[in-house]
Amino acid sequence: MTSTEGILAQGTSLQSLIDRGRVRPLQVRVLALCALVTLVEGIDLTLIPLLAPLIAASWSLRPEELGVIFSTGSFGLIFGGLGIGWLADRIGRRGALLAAMVLMTASTLATAWAGGVSHLLVLRLAAGIAFGGVIPAAVSLVSEFLPERLRASAVALVILGQALGALLAALLLKVPALAALEWQALVLCAAIACAVVTLLVTMLPESPRYLALRRAGSPALRSIYAALRIDPAAITRAPDPPASGMRLAALFAPGRALGTALLWATFIGVGWPLSFFTNWLTRIHTEAGHAAAVGVDAMAFYSAGAIAGGLVLPLFTRRWHHDRVLLATLASAAVLTVLQGLVLPLSGGVPMTISFLCGVFVSGGFFMLYPPAVRFYPTDMRATGVGAAVAFGRIGNTVSPTVAGLMLGAGLGPQSVFWAMAAPLVMSCAALWLFHRLTLTRAGAG
């Protein structure tokens, strides 16, 4: 190793200075804007499912057609997560986030003038691509600006912004002045909100790590140094370059194949009901004979539960092993999903309470899926391993809305649909239990 290489390997990095420094106004601005982005994304993501009863009545849509529309948006999430991540490494985190927001705004605006199912399918695919890219880009930007001691809380705030946006969308539809509007006008309002936030995104700085790697010495990087009170002369270690891509086959090497398969099964099983609740909860209440407003109420309670689950459930992992808490969470989610179907014909507080609890345990369970995957893979394959689990988990997100539509179109009752959504959660419980036993055995052998 040369003397220069030794300095670079052992010196002070930009990230270490950020980690040791005080939180500056620029970092607060980055966090606030990224949280606002995911909040607006949550509104936009949930709006079409909330308006599904109105759209179905306006266009005389069958349940099967609605299911395909919902699945198309979920399918776009897969390409969004992969495409925006690829873009972020080439044009920067800010640039990728801006691209996702522009696509979201354009697709939402065009939806207000959609002429039929074929148009809406294309637009939901485009919107899904945007949705799939927003959170990864926002999380990357926040992670590279905030010090390590605050990073986990900041990332949680950004991710929970989506659930808060879903809750806000449902609450706004309870406002009489908005509830009286045609669905196209409501979509147009969402497009305007997206456009305003997109303009605010242009005020975000680029990631300091990205600039240090790609544009060292640029005015933009010097401006960030000044805002964060960082002396460039104190940086004696260059940022680590992005890790080269790990082959997917490495996840199935001896000693990892079974664990990878079990993780994927767990992600798929949780993604299945998660997408169903997000897309169908409002509409399935009208299928059960309730007014559309009852479905909107159910979505509001579900979204509030998702926020509560994301905040409260991780606290239990301080006392009990994470996998055990997650297993109890997923088992509870399966039972509650069945109960939601059983109480669906009822009115009043009982079904709304179950909707809230489904949000706690279904969405909360999804938030808790990542740590086992992070723990299972070594550093050099962690990004590939977690990314692959998320991508394959979205198979469940994509398929379940169509399955629900086909079941309803075939004349099966809503209760049967909820049973079909609970079954994959049972599979997730079994897969997670086996995964937990496998990792304990490996730890004991090590």
DSSP string for 319-381: TS-HHHHHHHHHHHHHHHHHHHHHHTT--SHHHHHHHHHHIIIIIHHHHTSHHHHHHHS-HHH
In CATH, which superfamily holds the domain spanning 14-230? MFS general substrate transporter like domains (1.20.1250.20)
Q: What is the pLDDT of residues 141-187, one digit of tens each?
A: 888 888 888 877 888 888 889 999 999 999 999 898 888 899 999 99
Query: Side-chain half-sphere of 87: how many Cα atoms within 13 Å?
Result: 21
For residue 237, the cross-strand partners are: 13
Give the whole-angstrom CA distance, residue 63 versus residue 75.
18
Q: Give 262's contacts (C-beta < 8 A, 6+ positions apart).
A: 431, 432, 434, 435, 438
Can 14-230 and 247-446 be said to share one CATH topology?
yes
pLDDT at 325 exceeding the cut of 50 = yes
Q: What is the pLDDT of residues 114-131, one digit of tens each?
A: 988 999 999 999 999 999
The domain limits of the chain are: 14-230, 247-446
**294 exposed, middle or buried (CB, 10 Å; 0-12, 13-18, 19+)?**
middle
In CATH, which superfamily holds the domain spanning 247-446? MFS general substrate transporter like domains (1.20.1250.20)
Q: What pLDDT is attached to residue 186?
A: 95
237 by DSSP, 3-state: which?
Answer: strand
Contact 130, 150 (CB under 8 A): no
Q: What is the pLDDT of residues 131-142, one digit of tens each?
A: 988 888 888 888
